[in-house]
Amino acid sequence: MIERTLILLKPDAVSRGIVGEVITRFEKVGAALVGMKLLVSEKDTAELHYREELAQRRGEKVRQLMISMITSGPIVALVLEGVEIVEVARKMVGSTEPKAAAPGTIRGDFTHISFNHADEKGIGVFNLIHASASPEEAEVEIAVWFKPEELVSENRVDAHLIR
């Protein structure tokens, strides 16, 4: 099943200069890059991304901290395409809490901040990256960050293996 997923490289990933390395990891597993842009998120776009459902699950305070974090500097928004790429990307990204992320995952290899530390500082968790949780969520999230005409269809050498 060919899917698309949204990946956001958050301000901490951009400021640390690891964007290329993270993108390379996705390319190495065969994910096709079909959309990419560097931007500073407007607050209204961040609010669309961190929808009301987040407030219902984790509280409005957490939602506002996440909005503040994602708008604090440049981000790189990516759309990846591949076989069951939503699940593959989530595994590659690792646990939401960086200190709990397994070695070998993006968060496990590049950060270690805990929820407790973020709470103590009164900040959102700087955990480098966002990956859509489901194909349905990916569809909604991609529409927040990309217009349809900003996405391309990739003509891959290995297309006969995945299509």
What does the block give as tokens for 150?
Answer: 């900003």
Q: Are 91 and 121 in contact (CB under 8 A)?
A: no
Distance (Å, rounded) from C-alpha 136 to C-alpha 126? Answer: 25
Which residues span the domain enclosing 108?
2-148
Annotated catalytic residue 117: no
CATH number at 91 reads 3.30.70.141
Residue 72 lies in a domain: yes
Residue 155 lies in a domain: no
Which pTM does this prediction carry?
0.92
pLDDT in tens, 31-74: 999 999 999 999 999 999 998 776 677 778 888 999 999 999 99
Give the active site residue among 49, 112, 130, 160. Answer: 130
Residue 161 lies in a domain: no
Closest residue by Cα to residue 66 from 10, 13, 144, 132 = 10
pLDDT in tens, 86-127: 999 999 999 999 999 999 999 999 998 888 998 899 888 899
